[in-house]
Amino acid sequence: MLFEEAEKYVLEIPKFTKKNGLENTKALLCELQYPQKNKKIVHVAGSNGKGSVCFFTASMLMEAGKTVGLFTSPHLVRITERFQVNHEEMSPSEFVECFLIVKKAVENIMKKGYAHPTFFEMIFAIGMVYFQRQDVDYIVLETGLGGRLDATNAIETPLVTAITSISLDHTEYLGDTIEKIAKEKAGIAKKSAKMFVGVNPPSVVRVIEDKTRQLGCEILKVSEKDYEISEKNNKHIDFFLNIKYYGYVKVSMPYRALYQVENGVLAIRIVEYLLEKENGNQKDSEQGIEILSEKIAKKENRLTPEMIQEAFQKRQWAGRMEQVLPDIYLDGAHNEGGVRAFIQTAKELTQNRQCVLLFGAVREKDYQDMIASIARGLPCSEVVVTNLDTPRSLDVEELAKTFSESTECEIIKCANASEGWKRALELKTEEKVLFCVGSLYLVGEIKAILGE
138's CB contacts (< 8 A; 6+ apart) are 39, 40, 41, 42, 58, 61, 66, 67, 68, 69, 274
Alpha-carbon distance of 383 to 410, in angstroms, equals: 6
Indicate the burial class of 430 (C-beta count within 10 angstroms; 0-12, 13-18, 19 or more): exposed
Residue 294 has pLDDT above 80, yes or no: no
C-beta atoms surrounding 54 within 10 Å: 29
pLDDT of residue 208: 95
Contact of 178 with 168, CB cutoff 8 Å: yes
pLDDT band with cut points at 50, 70 and 90 for residue 285: very low
For all residues of the chain together, what is the average pLDDT?
88
Tell me how far the alpha carbon of residue 346 is from its chain's centroid: 20
pLDDT of residue 292: 46
Sheet of 237-241, strands arranged across: 227-232, 237-241, 249-253
pLDDT in tens, 36-57: 999 999 999 998 889 999 999 9
pLDDT of residue 286: 33
Q: Averaged over 294-318, what is the pLDDT?
A: 77
pLDDT of residue 135: 96
Q: What Rg value do the Cα atoms of the chain yield, rounded?
A: 22
Residue 17 has pLDDT above 80, yes or no: no
pTM: 0.87
297's CB contacts (< 8 A; 6+ apart) are 64, 289, 303, 304, 307
Residue 299 has pLDDT above 60, yes or no: no
Domains and CATH numbers, the chain: 3-314 (3.40.1190.10), 322-451 (3.90.190.20)
pLDDT band with cut points at 50, 70 and 90 for residue 5: very high
Contact of 35 with 131, CB cutoff 8 Å: yes
pLDDT of residue 386: 95
Contact of 393 with 362, CB cutoff 8 Å: yes
pLDDT band with cut points at 50, 70 and 90 for residue 369: confident
Contact of 261 with 199, CB cutoff 8 Å: no
The secondary element (H helix, E strand) that includes residue 210 is: helix 202-215
Residue 365 has pLDDT above 50, yes or no: yes
Indicate the burial class of 108 (C-beta count within 10 angstroms; 0-12, 13-18, 19 or more): middle
pLDDT in tens, 339-360: 888 888 888 888 889 999 999 9
pLDDT of residue 57: 97
pLDDT > 70: what percent of the chain?
A: 91
Strand partners, 412: 384
| Terminal-residue alpha carbon distance, the chain | 27
Residue 284 has pLDDT above 80, yes or no: no
By DSSP bridging, strand 83-85 and strand 68-71 are: antiparallel
Q: Averaged over 26-42, what is the pLDDT?
A: 95
Alpha-carbon distance of 399 to 387, in angstroms, equals: 9
pLDDT band with cut points at 50, 70 and 90 for residue 419: very high
pLDDT of residue 382: 94
pLDDT of residue 283: 46
Alpha-carbon distance of 168 to 42, in angstroms, equals: 24
Tell which residue, 199, 264, 254, 263, has the closest CA to residue 232: 254
Describe the crossing of helices 3-11 and 92-111 by its angle, rounded to 10 degrees.
50
Residue 177 has pLDDT above 80, yes or no: yes
By DSSP bridging, strand 227-232 and strand 380-386 are: unpaired
pLDDT in tens, 103-162: 999 999 999 999 999 999 999 999 999 999 999 999 999 998 778 999 999 999 999 999
pLDDT band with cut points at 50, 70 and 90 for residue 171: low
pLDDT of residue 221: 94
Contact of 138 with 68, CB cutoff 8 Å: yes
